[in-house]
Amino acid sequence: MTIQDRIGDVTERIVKRSHDSRSIYLERIGQAAEKGPQRSRLSCGNLAHGFAACGLSDKKALSGDVVPNLGIITSYNDMLSAHQPYETYPALIRDAAHEVGAVAQVAGGVPAMCDGVTQGQDGMELSLFSRDIIAMAAAVGLSHQMFDAAVFLGICDKIVPGLAIAALSFGHLPAVFVPAGPMTTGISNDDKAKVRQLYAEGKVGRDALLESESQAYHSPGTCTFYGTANSNQMLMEIMGLHMPGASFINPGTPLRDALTKEAAKRALAISALGNEFTPAGEVISEKAIVNGVVGLHATGGSTNHTMHLVAIAAAAGIKLTWDDISDLSDVVPLLARVYPNGKADVNHFQAAGGLQFLIRELLGDGYLHQDVKTVYGTDLSGYTAEAKLDTNGNVIRQEVPETSGDETVLAPVSKAFQPTGGLKMLTGNMGKAVIKISAVAKERHIIEAPARVFHDQNDFLTAFNNKELTGDVAAVVRFQGPKAIGMPELHKLTPCLGILQDRGHKVALITDGRMSGASGKVPAAIHVTPEAAAGGPIAKIRDGDMIRVDAVAGTLEVLVDEAEFNARPLAEADLSQHQFGTGRDLFAAFRANVGTADTGAHVFGA
Binding residues: 156, 223
Residue ranges for the known binding site for [4Fe-4S] cluster are 156, 223
- Rounded to the nearest 10 degrees, how much is the dihedral formed by the CA atoms of 444, 449, 452, 458? -10
What's the half-sphere exposure (Cβ side, CA atoms, 13 Å) at 48? 3
CB contact at 8 A, 383 and 356: yes
Distance CA 453, CA 473 (A): 10
How do beta strands 431-436 and 524-529 pair?
A: antiparallel
What's the half-sphere exposure (Cβ side, CA atoms, 13 Å) at 35? 14
How do beta strands 446-454 and 395-399 pair?
A: unpaired
Q: What is the DSSP string of 181-207?
A: -BPPP-S-HHHHHHHHHHHHTTSS-HH
Asked whether the bond before 340 is cis by omega within 30 degrees of 0, the reply is: yes
Distance CA 321, CA 309 (A): 9
Calculate the CA 108 to chain-centre distance: 22
Q: What letter represents residue 212's amino acid?
A: S
CB contact at 8 A, 457 and 477: yes
Phi and psi torsions of 246, nearest 5°: -85, -20
Q: Which residues pair with 259 in a beta bridge?
A: none
Residue 473 gets which letter from DSSP?
E
Neighbours of 8 (CB within 10 A): 15
